[in-house]
Structure 1
Amino acid sequence: MSKKGVKKRRVAIPAGISAKVLFLSDRTCCVCRQSGKPVQIHHIDENPSNNAIENLAVLCFECHNLTMLIGGFAKKLDAEQIILYRADWARIVSFQRMVEEKRESEFVQADDQIDYVTSTAEALRENKAYELLAMHYNTYGGIDLRDKYIEKAIRSGTSAESELFLRSLQGRADLVPNEKVSEIISRQQRDKSYLSLGRTYAKINDWPNAVKHYCLGIAESIDGGNQFSAAYYLKELCDAGAVAKLFELELESRSKIGDLWWQVRCLEELGWNSELDALLVAKRSEIEASNDLLLLPKLYLALGERKRAITALKTQAASADRFSSADRKRPRGGSDKKRRKS
């Protein structure tokens, strides 16, 4: 009823608007959000002739009844609350639909990919292209099938380079006979194929030689004005983890001879913080006995003794003039005592 006691005239909601409102709410009450319950379209401002889409909300019968209950000074479910519920529910419905669409798209893509993988494999099998089959399954995750066709390719007779490549896909370059590896390296050295040599050494985990020959090939590309080639192989080298490999090799070497400083530096560069802290704590007595001003702050930080670390850093700064630039950088070769005497 209006203020004058005249009942507001109800205007039927156009079918298009009704359908859109129900769709946006997934035919579910925007307040209780219980699917499967009978619902109706509610006029938020209670004017049944105002069929603007922003004035309509989907409510179940129970929640709709709450809009007509008076409790205290206000209704149990007022217009502002309904607007908030509706906006939040519309956002959730929209997100759920987006996720579902993505899943369906992924299923379609997966089906297409399966068709591609199987049809390509069939064609390669018909031609007994075992090496290509191995590469095909390596790309699409068929590890068992990859290994099966690697064995077939090697048994059927393949070049030394191909055998090394296939075994490297398995991470088993060690299965390639040494004479074949030597044959590959000799040929590439004779041809001065530096980038190929770099790849070969990387496959057999000879990282110092791998980096050396990659760099020779990259320098050759730059000298020849081919920046793309230089960038491509530099990226390939970095993506292979060459930097970390060299630090790991140096760490292993320095650990064998007990060179603590370079062990610390390698661990820092590798970002192996827990291993670094463990090493420093294990060598605490040695570090404190040597009064090494470069290692003491690191030790105390590892121990969580912040004040002592700050004190050690201050002492280090005050004593900086005693050390030459070369001493601070700790050059390779010789023991700490020899370096300090020099």
Structure 2
Amino acid sequence: MNGRPAPTSPAEPAAEMAAIPLLQFSEDARFTWANTQAEEWLGLSARHLMKGDFGTQSPVCAHLAEIVEQACDARRTVVALGCVLGPGGPFDLHARWSDETSSVTLSVLPHREPGAKASQAPALGFGRMLAHELKNPLASVRGAAQLIRRESNIDAAAELAQLIIQDVDRITRLANHWSRVGDIRLGERGEVNLNHLAMDAMESIVRADPHARSILKEDFDPSLPPVDGDRDLLLQVVLNLLQNALDAVRDMPDPKIRVETRFDTGPRSRTGANPTPLVLVVRDNGPGIPDALGAGIFTPFVTTKPAGEGLGLAFAARIAALHDGQLDYESEPGRTGFNLRLPVAREETS
């Protein structure tokens, strides 16, 4: 729309480019910014919305204001699913509270029925998502560099240097994956052993955080057939799941994380007509996922972390979908498991 004011709150360029309506509010639930999609959806310009009380602008604005006020009052993310707000609905509303900026970002998404594939969540927040994905390999590089500084054995130092080279190469490949403004695409595909993938992810996490070594346990099926996929992207998915689990158990008196692999032919082991029997599970004994989030946990900008970006699981679900797989979870206090489900490599299937 013509004459749009500059954003008065820290809106990222990726948010302006998002394919869904995004609105931002101050800690007292006062409207501060909207992207073009939100303006078109509401039929109101951001300049007009700033002139008065947001909740009085239209019946739809009144409904949105209620969700935002709840998030501001509780200082937490509030999710409302299946809201009927006029034509094109129903919609899922995600009002994400940020302690860092003392603000609420409201995302408006098409409603997803319970049990829908988590990987159907739209990919947005491209620039911030890329930065998020580079944090884990960079932490691994830093950890290996610190070990080299203390290492007196030349052979051990050379081995650590090789790990740094491998991680830097992976960072370069990840950046190349995202070079088209967040257009995630599979790179070189090949047979991937999920057990080896899990071990490499665990070793990377331990290099970045040595205290994780005593927390991580493994339970692998040694007879698991390979997956046909992009190893770099699949490794990043497992790293995200491990990092989330570490964050969840950090304050637990007896933190535990178990990484499992298995062959599963149960009712959840397919996406449509596509079988996904190969399962990698990251299980932790943290507090669990709040019931209010539900499937919204895979939506960009939705997070249970006070200072989180809510992007890691959205990325992971998208990568699972690109591999004709899916990402789902089961959670209760003291027991949460995220399941990465993938198909068998075609050669094995035949």
Query: Normalised by the shorter chain, which TM-score bucket?
Result: under 0.3
Relative contact order, CA 8 A, sep 6+: which one is greater? 2
TM normalised by structure 1 equals: 0.21
Q: When you count strand as a share of all residues, which structure comes out higher? A: 2
Q: When you count helix as a share of all residues, which structure comes out higher? A: 1
